[in-house]
A and B are shown apart, each in its own frame.
Chain A
Amino acid sequence: AQKVTQAQTEISVVEKEDVTLDCVYETRDTTYYLFWYKQPPSGELVFLIRRNSFDEQNEISGRYSWNFQKSTSSFNFTITASQVVDSAVYFCALSRGNAGNMLTFGGGTRLMVKP
């Protein structure tokens, strides 16, 4: 069985602070994918990133960066110099390596960025 745990249910920061959202996963598969999605107040899930289990390179996209560590089964997400528009619920998700496999989501972390 697959499981994703986001231990931080809610984080509050002041604008321009850096913030890291934690994600720990469990799977018995050797091939799998990890994802992050953003859900702003409007409700629509926005795809941010997908990584496969064989690629442990960290990735940076603008103010966003992701740290994938297989040894600790973690896929953490850092926002640098946070902005009010970053306020949303962020979900980490896991899928098996096979085609068409459903996403298993964590419970989400609500990020509030205050001006």
Chain B
Amino acid sequence: GAGVSQTPSNKVTEKGKYVELRCDPISGHTALYWYRQSLGQGPEFLIYFQGTGAADDSGLPNDRFFAVRPEGSVSTLKIQRTERGDSAVYLCASSLTSFDEQFFGPGTRLTVL
């Protein structure tokens, strides 16, 4: 079946702009995660959804970052007033239940000029 998909694959924006990154989890997966991976580093957790609700958002770096999952499937990560330090690959993962292993999408490479 189809894996986790993320759009766009690349996003270039200017400092101060607003961006939205989309994640389509594997069909039927109830848990969804967002991570951020800077160059040469391991992914870092941002937020976890169980169904429609954000069960853990402790990894969001500040209030410019927000994520939603209104119908318990697709999720959107929103970044306001982007800064150059936000440049990274944003990874989405899903799992069948919150007890299962996570499967990752290809990521969205965000570049803030």
Contact = CB atoms under 8 A, between A and B. Distances in A.
A100 interface: yes
A46 B101 CA distance: 11
A108 B48 contact: no
A44 B55 contact: no
B59 interface: yes
Most chain A CB inside 10 Å of its own CB: which residue of B35, B42, B107:
B42
Most chain B CB inside 10 Å of its own CB: which residue of A50, A103, A106:
A103
Interface in B28-54: 31, 33, 35, 40-45, 48, 50
A47 B105 CA distance: 11
Contacts of B98: 99-100
A102 B59 CA distance: 9
Nearest to A99: B98
Give chain A's interface secondary structure class.
Answer: loop
- Measured as residues with beta carbon below 8 angstroms from the partner, the interface class of chain B is 20 to 34
Interface residues of A, number: 22
A104 B45 CA distance: 7
Contacts of B111: none
Given A42-B106, A44-B104, A45-B104, A99 B45 contact: no
Contact of A105 (B33, B44, B99): B44
B43 A47 contact: no
Contacts of B93: 45
Given A44-B105, A104-B45, 7 more contacts: A43-B89, A45-B43, A100-B99, A102-B33, A105-B44, A106-B42, A107-B42
10 contacts: A44-B105, A45-B91, A47-B103, A47-B104, A50-B101, A91-B43, A100-B31, A103-B35, A103-B102, A107-B41
Interface of B: 31, 33, 35, 40-45, 48, 50, 55-56, 59, 89, 91, 93, 97-99, 101-107
The 4 closest A-B pairs by CB, nearest first: A105-B42, A100-B98, A102-B45, A45-B104
